[in-house]
């Protein structure tokens, strides 16, 4: 059983609700923002939001983070599908605690958001390119799903540190 970092974990059903609500909400926000930018942005024509630091810039990414592994789109799609199935069937039902529930929900949202692109966007199933559009100067172009995954990773680290302190 995966327990949260607090000494009094909420009932199991509350943790499951948190996971489910965050997973569905995060996926919906990710796909909604991608739908919006696909209708408004043109590849190669950035829109300044905060000077040159933050821009909206449409990019179609066949690879992973920082466009690495562009030749492995099918492998990345299969890995994402495996992670989605494993986390939703093996991890999520065992989650106890708010922090771990939030992290798990965000992870599911992020993985599902980018997997949706890989399955249903051009050039075709398991080959689809992920829609990225948030650009930070000197860093990367990413999307809401990527923010969910990164936030989940940070929360899992915090949960791990807090769990170690309790021991």
Q: Which residues are catalytic?
A: 132, 146
| Strand pairing report for 54-61 and 95-96 | unpaired
Other CB atoms closer than 10 Å to residue 100's CB: what's the count? Answer: 27
Q: In 119-153, which positions are buried (b, 16+ CB within 10 angstroms) versus exposed (e)?
A: eebeeeeeebbbbbbbbeeeeebbbbbbbbbebbe
Concatenated DSSP letters of 14-52: HHHHHHHHHHHHHHHHHHHHHHHHHHH-BTTB-EEEETT
């Amino acid at each position: 059983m995966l327990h949260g970092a607090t000494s009094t974990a909420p009932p199991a059903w509350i943790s499951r609700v948190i996971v489910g609500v965050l997973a569905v909400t995060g996926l919906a926000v990710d796909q909604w923002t991608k739908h919006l930018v696909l209708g408004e942005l043109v590849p190669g024509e950035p829109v300044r939001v905060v000077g040159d630091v933050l821009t909206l810039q449409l990019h179609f990414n066949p690879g992973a983070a920082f466009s690495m592994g562009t030749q492995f789109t099918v492998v990345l799609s299969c890995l994402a599908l495996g992670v989605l199935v494993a986390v939703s069937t093996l991890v999520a039902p065992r989650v106890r605690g708010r922090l771990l529930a939030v992290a798990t929900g965000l992870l599911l949202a992020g993985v599902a958001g980018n997997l949706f692109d890989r399955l249903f966007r051009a050039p075709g199933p398991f080959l689809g390119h992920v829609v990225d559009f948030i650009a930070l100067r000197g860093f990367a172009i990413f999307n809401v799903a990527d923010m969910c995954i990164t936030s989940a990773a940070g929360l899992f680290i915090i949960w791990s540190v807090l769990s170690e302190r309790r021991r």
